[in-house]
Amino acid sequence: MVPRAAGNAGAPLIALRRGALALIALLAVLCVPARAESLRYCDVPPQLSGEQQDRLLRVAAVVRGLLMEAGAPAALISRSGQNLERFGQRYSHTGITLATHREVPWAVRQLYFACDEGAPRIFDQGLAGFVMGMQNPALGYVSIVLLPALEAQALAERALDNALALRLLGPAYSANAFAFSQRYQNCNQWVAELLAAAWGGLDETAAPRAMAQQWLRQNDYEPTTFEVGSRWLMWLGHFIPWVHADDHPDEDRAALRYRVSMPESIEAFVRRTVPGTQRIELCHDERQLVLRRGWRPIDAGCRAEAGDRVVDLE
C-alpha cells in the first residue's frame, strides 16, 4: 500500500473550514446588518482616510450627475458588498433613490437592520452616504437602473408614501430571508415588494406583503439561489443572529439552498418586466472610475474596455 501524503490528510477538514468561512462571509454581508448611524456591520465600522472619503465623494458626484441628466423622479440603485464575487454576486444592497426627497435630492430610501434595536427600519440616506457604505473603499461598484417615465413616477409616489413603506416593512429581519415568506424580510425583499405595490395596481390596505409577493410570483419573479452544499454549513447559520432558515420551504432546505432577493435578481426582473429600462454601472479603484452604459457588466477588477467612460481619480 502506498502511504498517503501527510499534507493531504486534512484536506477535507480544510475544505469544510473554508466553506464555513465562506458561508459566514456570505451571510454576514447580505443586506449588511447595520448600526443606524453607520449602515455598516454591527461592529464598529472602519474609519475612512481623507483620501478615501474624497474619492468616494467624487464617485457619488458622478452618480448624482447621471441621475440628474436622466431626469427621472426615481431609480433603483445598488452598491457592492464584500466577498460576494465568489458567490457570483457583485451587489449586496439595493434601494430607491428619489429626485424630490423631502430631506435632500436623490436620497436613498432603503431597509436597514438597526442592531441596537434588533429590528428592521426604513432609512433615508444621502447619496454620498450610500456610496460610502461600500465595504471596500479601494474597489467598489454602483449600479443604476433607469426606468421609463410612467414606471418611475409610480415608484416615486409609492416610495414616498410613508404609510405604505411602513406597511410593507416586515416584522423581523433575516439576511437570507426567503423571498416568498412573510416571516422575515431582508433589505432587497422590501424593494421587490415596493415594486409590486407600485406597478401591480394592488389594494395594499389589508395584507400588502402577501399581495405584493403574490404579484411577484404571478409575474415570474425569480430570487437568487444560493447553493450551500453542506448540512453542516446550513447548521452553522443558526449561530448568526440575523440568519434564519425556518422560513425556507422544506424542499429548499433538503436541497441545501436558499432563495433570496438580491440586487441581481431584482434588476433581471425589472429588465424583463419593464420594456425600455436602462442600466448604468460604475466602478472605482484607487486610480480611476469606469462608467459603462448597458447591461453587460464591467469586468472584475474595474477594468475599462472600449466605449467605457474613464474618470481619473488620482
* Segment of 108-117, 165-174, 229-238 carrying the highest mean pLDDT: 165-174
What is the predicted pLDDT for the residue at 113? 84
pTM over 0.75: yes
| Residue 182: CB atoms within 10 Å | 17
Count other C-beta atoms under 10 Å from residue 144's C-beta. 20
Helical H runs in the chain? 6-9, 11-29, 50-70, 127-132, 149-159, 162-167, 187-199, 208-218, 231-236, 250-254, 263-273
- Condensed to tens digits (0 to 9), the pLDDT of residues 208-265 reads 999 999 999 999 999 999 887 767 666 666 666 778 889 999 999 889 899 999 999 9
Which pLDDT value is given to residue 13?
46
DSSP, collapsed to helix, strand or coil, labels residue 191 as: helix
Cβ-contact 75, 94 below 8 angstroms: no
Band (pLDDT 50/70/90 cuts) for residue 304 is very high
Dump pLDDT digits (tens) for 21-32: 455 555 544 554
| Total residue length of the chain | 314
Q: Which three cell numbers stand for residue 117?
A: 434595536
Q: What is the DSSP string of 21-89?
A: HHHHHHHHHTT--B-TTT-S-SSPPPPPPHHHHHHHHHHHHHHHHHHHHH--SEEEEEEE-SS-GGGT-
pLDDT confidence of residue 240:
67
What CA–CA distances, in Å, run from 283 to 81, 129, 287? Answer: 12, 16, 11
d(CA 40, CA 44): 8
The model's pLDDT over 61-106, given as tens digits with 9 standing for 90+, comes to 999 999 999 999 999 999 997 666 777 889 989 999 999 877 789 9
Distance in angstroms (rounded) separating the CA atoms of residues 10 and 13: 5
CA separation for the pair 135, 64 (Å, rounded): 20
Cell reading at 190: 422590501
Question: Of the segments 45-59, 251-265, 268-282, which one has the largest average pLDDT value?
Answer: 268-282
144-155: pLDDT as tens digits: 999 999 999 999
